[in-house]
Amino acid sequence: MPDLRERQLARLTRPGSGPGLVVVDVQRDFADPACLADYGLTDAALTALDRAVTRVGELVDTARAAGVPVFWVELGSDPALPWRAGNWLRGGDYDAPMGPAEPCVVGTPGAEVYRMRPAAGEARVVKRGYSGFLGTDLDARLREAGCDWLTIVGLTSECCVYATAQDAIQLDWPVVVPRDATAAYDLGVHTAALAQLALNVALLSDADEVVELWKRIPR
């Protein structure tokens, strides 16, 4: 009898399978080293972040060439609608206005997609918190596109990638997360996030294997 991983992969590559690529928060405020000085990243963490962004870009290009639909999830912080629970968690003041350090404020350079660009016609979903599914139409867009399993990539592994992947599986999507197409600002945190994802949420893979899975689907 095939082992668990073989059975999982067989389900993803059966005839008629519909993969989708979900790119989470690859935006300047989260990915551009010039915007991350206050986060205290080590050189090793910055290198890992750079490599992950590169791998995400490669997967986007390959998905387009293979006819795999790409979905962009982006944080859009709106000063008129501050995330009060986030304010409380980070600063202790539930009713504080949005501060100047808030990432990805709508209309600012920090909210721009970094080192890659959504193509015309590709779905773009703007979220307010961590998960790409919470308060958005991402689920409906994925189903309308004929997807039935997802590769989720982007930033960061322990936060918005994790939250999006967790909601995806709870909404009945099989989820693959490539280890090399996501990152955190601390290498230990990233390792822990991958362990948590593997335990309860996703099949861990790498970008090369994901591409091979796409190629193996009979057309």
Mean pLDDT of the chain: 96
Give the tokens for residue 188. Answer: 């230990």
DSSP letter (8 states) at residue 116: S
Q: What local confidence, expressed as pLDDT, does residue 182 receive?
A: 98
User: Using 50, 70 and 90 to split pLDDT, how confident is the model at 206?
Assistant: very high
Name residue, tokens 């918190």.
Answer: 129
**pLDDT tens digit sequence for 146-162:** 999 999 999 999 999 99
What percent of the chain is predicted at pLDDT more than 90? 91
Whole-angstrom distance, CA of residue 113 vs CA of residue 101: 18
The domain segmentation of the chain, as residue ranges, is: 4-214
**Greatest Cα-to-Cα distance within the chain, rounded to the nearest angstrom:** 58
Whole-angstrom distance, CA of residue 137 vs CA of residue 149: 17
User: Using 50, 70 and 90 to split pLDDT, how confident is the model at 101?
Assistant: confident
Is the domain spanning 4-214 CATH 3.40.50.850? The answer is yes
Name residue, tokens 């689907």.
Answer: 217
Q: What local confidence, expressed as pLDDT, does residue 16 receive?
A: 94
**pLDDT tens digit sequence for 159-172:** 999 999 999 999 99
Q: What local confidence, expressed as pLDDT, does residue 4 receive?
A: 95
pLDDT exceeds 70 at position 1: no
Q: What local confidence, expressed as pLDDT, does residue 100 receive?
A: 83
Whole-angstrom distance, CA of residue 83 vs CA of residue 71: 24
